[in-house]
Amino acid sequence: MRIAVVGGGISGLVAGYRLRQTLGADAELVLIEQRDRVGGILRTAEIVGEPVDLGAEAFVGRRPEIPALMRELGIEEQLVHPAGKRPLVWSQGVGHRLPEGTLMGIPAGAQSVSTLVDAETLARITDEPNRPLKWVSGSDVSVGALVADRFGEQVVRRSVDPLLGGVYAGTAGSIGVRAALPPLAAALDAGATSLSQAVADALPPPSNTPVFGGIRDGYGVLLDALRTAADLKIEISTTATALTATAEGWQLDPLGWFDAVVLATPAPVTAALLREVAPVAAELVSGIELASSAVVALALPKETALPDNSGILVATGEPLRAKAFTLSSRKWPHLAAREVTLVRASFGRFGDDTALTRTDAELIAAAVEDLTTVTGTEIRPLTAVVQRWPGGLPQYAPGHTARIAELRTATADLPGLALAGAYLNGVGVPACAASGTAAAARILDRL
């Protein structure tokens, strides 16, 4: 049996690993990747001789996929959790404590954002339950449109945008409620009479479980373990591979014939590969837009005075180039033990690709200048590393969940073909791992 996994990100690696678990050593599993490394937009590099993640550096700890996968692979001792410090929001030239009791920055009441917005906005939030709410069950709008209508633009720019920018490299205006905040959509569908009530209903119950988890020596540890356990034959293909269906299986040019294929590729690549075999599906996938970003990792002298916070998120409209800073040595106890202080600066939002056009020197200079502004400390990096992520994050626009449901229908009758990736049901690492597991299950069911 010969199976191709196209795309060597976390989704593809998990799919390959799950297939190997069930099919055993006799199956020929071929991983087809354009880059000369696996991991997709996960990458661990060395800074001052120690590992640092230049893509995602955490995962949602309340989802089970990554801790369970680490246990399976025998690397559970690598699981770490943040120190529990809160981030700041930089707004109006001042750092504010990130509002608590919100759902992705959307408050259930005025008190949550009392230091972040003006008196007029606070009065509007307080009065919001008294205004009729128009919501059609099953509908979808952008998070920005809903929150601006009910609470005002200040809440969008200063509270919601900074958080959505970190997850999707987008803004509240580019992300749909139903895909990004399913509990909120469910509360509105269930008949909440105000956005305040819907947020209150959608907030998770209090829990002592850490919100986030991480990997002590970086995601490279997980990627290496998956690659070894999956025992994949890796083919580097720098050109788009043509996919055609035959009576016996699938033809992937120039690599030949396969019994089954997993497409764990970004949305544009998936659309191109589906164009001949499933044109309706290809059209649906091609409508998913992408955002580009860049990360600048800075190693600073150990004694550098930084706020005792996990990071600094930047509100929309501030005269800074960076959209966020992760104060890594404050956020993660294992990084605090190192001989340098680590900070990551993030650049780029949907519709703004300047992070890709600036030179490394320009991005590093912007990171240093903006970090100096938000901390009030003179920043003198010992070294810096730049990582660009062109088209790294899909945008879950309004209607995204309906689009994905249609995509599933359009590919349902293609036996031996499965889809995985961040554009489907979640951009986080756990969601991508889940998509790889689901893709392998579909292949195994059809075989």
**DSSP state for residue 193 in the 8-state scheme:** S
Q: HSE on the CB side for 150, CA within 13 Å?
A: 27
pLDDT digits (tens, 9 = 90+) for 93-142: 999 999 998 999 999 999 999 999 999 999 999 999 999 999 999 999 99
- What mean pLDDT do residues 399-427 have? 97
Query: How far is the C-alpha of 95 from the C-alpha of 365, rounded, in Å?
Result: 21
Is 343 a residue whose pLDDT tops 70? yes
- pLDDT, residue 211, reads 87
Mean pLDDT, residues 273-282 taken together: 96
Question: In percent, how much of the chain has pLDDT > 70?
Answer: 99
- Report the chain's mean pLDDT, rounded to a whole number: 95
| H or E element that contains 397 | none
Paired sense of beta strands 290-301 and 260-263, if any: unpaired
In the block, which residue shows the tokens 């550096």? 57
Q: Is 92 helix (H, G, I), strand (E, B) or coil?
A: coil
Cα gap 136→413, rounded to integer Å: 32
pTM of the model: 0.95
Percentage, residues of the chain above pLDDT 90: 91
Helix (H, G, I), strand (E, B) or coil at 419: strand
Maximum CA extent, the chain: 68
Q: What is the pLDDT of residues 196-226, one digit of tens each?
A: 999 999 999 888 888 899 999 999 999 999 9
- Mean pLDDT of all residues in 343-350: 96
Predicted confidence band of residue 240 (pLDDT cuts 50, 70, 90) = low
Positive or negative: CA dihedral 273, 279, 282, 283: positive
Which residue is associated with the tokens 């990004």?
Answer: 180
Predicted local distance difference test score (pLDDT) of residue 207:
80
Is 237's pLDDT higher than 80? no
**pLDDT value for 248:** 82
**Exposure string for 7-21, b = 16+ CB within 10 A, e = fewer:** bbbbbbbbbbbbbbe
Cβ contact 403:178 at 8 Å: no
pLDDT band at 254 (very low <50, low <70, confident <90, very high): confident
Tell me the pLDDT tens digit for each residue of 15-25: 999 999 999 99
CA distance 405 to 310: 37
In this prediction, residues 180-200 reach a mean pLDDT of 98
Q: What is the pLDDT of residues 147-171, one digit of tens each?
A: 999 999 999 999 999 999 999 999 9
Residue 60 has pLDDT above 90, yes or no: yes
> What pLDDT is stored for residue 152 in this prediction?
98
What's the whole-number mean pLDDT along residues 226-252? 85
What's the token pair of residue 167?
């997850």
CA distance 275 to 384: 42
Give the mean model confidence (pLDDT) for residues 345-357: 94
Is pLDDT at 239 greater than 80 in this prediction? Answer: no
Residue 238 has pLDDT above 70, yes or no: no
On the question of pLDDT at 362 being above 80, the answer is yes
